[in-house]
Amino acid sequence: MTRRWITAFVVMTTAMLLAAVLVDAQQSSPGPPRSILAVEIVDDDKHESQFPVLGPPEGGFMETGPSRQLPDWKQPAGVPPLARLRIRSLMEGDAVRIRVSAVFDDSYPVDSPGPKYGAREEPVASYLAKEGESITVRELERFGFEPLLLKVVKAKPRLEEQALAFQPEVVSKLKSVEVFAFGIDPSSPTWFSLSLRNLTSKNITALEIYETEQGRRGGGSQMSMQSAPDRPVIAAGAVYETQVSVGGSRGRMTPQGLVPEPQQQLTFVVGTVVFDDGTYEGEAEVAARIEARQVGRRLQLARVVSLLKDIPDAPEQGAMATLEKLKSQVSSLRIDVDASIISELLARYPSLADEHRRERLMAEVMDGLRSGREEVLHQIKEFEQSSERASGGIDFRTWLSRTKERYEAMSSSF
């Protein structure tokens, strides 16, 4: 065997082994392969505004505020303003398909007169660009905003998850709730399992857990709410299990690359609970916001119950047409807030009567109205999908009866 043949054999064998290792790594790696391309918003006002391009079916997604408004632009009367943009990306051969949609939202200001229906998305542009190419979204000018410049670039490296330097803590400020257990979730280094015990004889229908950093309340909080009387968040004397996230690694871009920020001690605080008799323990403002959202959700579900009651008996073969009509009716439910609802809430929480807190409560009621509507639309979608997948599922009349009973119970509970 000659030296040249031996060298060629070694090179070929090494290449085969390397290929096998790469294939094995791709097959064994959890989740999709890491993207090498990203869509970047070329604008100094939008720091670090890029998102990765992914393959089908999901693709990449970013939601951002619109560009700068055109000078001397006057919003047409009765037309909701452009609130934000949704940018989607998808690999298409060796290029990137970029779709831009405008989101119009009549929700704000919350105290302006209705009718209000919330966000409405409208596709405005579609482009195909390769790495290094830029596109200009001039279609935004007809909505009163400057063109937006987008560019397909190599994705910036993401920070790897780091081991926590400080063990998070959980404390309860409440006499009604104790921290029963807290520990690392083996499935993720940034999630922790938390168990709380209700020490009272009353059901807890809502609670808030918020995050503090170096003794100061941070922006992160987690709320759990349940309006069904037979399914409280924590029944009297029972234990509630949930998870809290400490978030991913944070960093800043420097000339030397992405540098992780120093980790800080985090503490999670169980700060407020609401009971099934309408009383609460903790912060009045948090309890009022929770109740406001519950009120909005109950009001919307009550409207849905009325729609369900009005559905006439129809043969099973007409179920899909009836369901399509119901979906349209639910989608058209309004989310503007009657002033009398806020007056009733403020009568229960008189310390929150200033204008800022009043608007905050109105926004929470609106969120409840919106979430109630979206909840029902999700239930309709799930039934449609189950009907398509299996002919042996529940029939339309049974689903309709069960749905009506469930929402009647939810809309009549505290």
Model confidence over 218-260: pLDDT tens digits?
Answer: 766 777 877 666 789 999 999 999 888 776 555 555 554 556 6
Which sign, positive or negative, has the C-alpha torsion 389, 392, 396, 399?
Answer: negative
- Percent of the chain whose pLDDT exceeds 90: 49
Where among 154, 189, 214 does a domain terminate?
154
Same domain, 342 and 236: no
Q: Which of 64-73, 122-131, 393-402 is least confident? A: 393-402
Model confidence over 272-331: pLDDT tens digits?
Answer: 999 999 899 999 999 999 999 999 999 999 999 999 998 876 566 577 888 899 999 999
> What are the residues whose beta carbons fall under 8 Å from the beta carbon of 86, sequence distance 6 or more?
61, 62, 63, 100, 101, 103, 121
> Has residue 176 been placed in a domain?
yes
37 φ, ψ to 5°?
-115, 160
54 φ, ψ to 5°?
-115, 165
> Has residue 6 been placed in a domain?
no
| E strand or H helix that includes residue 327 | helix 319-331
pLDDT band at 6 (very low <50, low <70, confident <90, very high): very low
Take residue 279 and report the two structure tokens written for it.
């009383």
**Tokens 């979608």 — which residue?**
381
pLDDT at 98: 96
Same domain, 345 and 369: yes
What 8-state DSSP symbol labels residue 383?
Answer: H
Kindly state the average pLDDT of the residues 143-172: 80
Name the range with the highest mean pLDDT among 23-27, 59-63, 185-189: 59-63
> Has residue 161 been placed in a domain?
no
Please state, in angstroms and rounded to a whole number, the distance separating the CA atoms of residues 290 and 288: 5
Same domain, 146 and 42: yes
> Has residue 290 been placed in a domain?
yes
What 8-state DSSP symbol labels residue 111?
Answer: T
CATH number of the domain to which 203 belongs: 2.60.40
> Has residue 78 been placed in a domain?
yes
The one-letter code for the residue type at 286 is V
pLDDT band at 23 (very low <50, low <70, confident <90, very high): very low
> What are the residues whose beta carbons fall under 8 Å from the beta carbon of 34, sequence distance 6 or more?
52, 155
Where among 154, 188, 219 does a domain terminate?
154
pLDDT band at 33 (very low <50, low <70, confident <90, very high): very low
pLDDT at 393: 60
Please state, in angstroms and rounded to a whole number, the distance separating the CA atoms of residues 301 and 406: 10
> Has residue 4 been placed in a domain?
no
CA separation (Å) from 290 to 45, 166, 414? 34, 31, 12
Please state, in angstroms and rounded to a whole number, the distance separating the CA atoms of residues 250 and 265: 14
Please state, in angstroms and rounded to a whole number, the distance separating the CA atoms of residues 24 and 37: 23
Contact 62, 51 (CB under 8 A): yes
pLDDT above 60 (res 32): no
Same domain, 354 and 375: yes
Where among 154, 177, 209 does a domain terminate?
154
Same domain, 289 and 397: yes
Same domain, 271 and 290: no
> Has residue 255 been placed in a domain?
no
Q: Domain total for the chain?
A: 3
- Half-sphere exposure in the Cβ direction for 365 (13 Å, CA): 26
> Has residue 363 been placed in a domain?
yes
pLDDT above 80 (res 9): no
Same domain, 94 and 144: yes
308 φ, ψ to 5°?
-65, -35
Same domain, 124 and 218: no
SS3 at position 97: strand
Composition of the chain by helix, strand, coil, percent to 5: 35, 30, 35
Contact 227, 205 (CB under 8 A): yes
316 φ, ψ to 5°?
-60, -30
Which sign, positive or negative, has the C-alpha torsion 347, 352, 355, 361?
Answer: negative
| E strand or H helix that includes residue 292 | helix 284-309
Please state, in angstroms and rounded to a whole number, the distance separating the CA atoms of residues 47 and 35: 20
Please state, in angstroms and rounded to a whole number, the distance separating the CA atoms of residues 227 and 293: 10
SS3 at position 284: helix
SS3 at position 153: strand
Model confidence over 365-396: pLDDT tens digits?
Answer: 999 999 999 999 999 999 888 866 555 567 88
Range of the domain at 94: 37-154
Same domain, 269 and 291: no
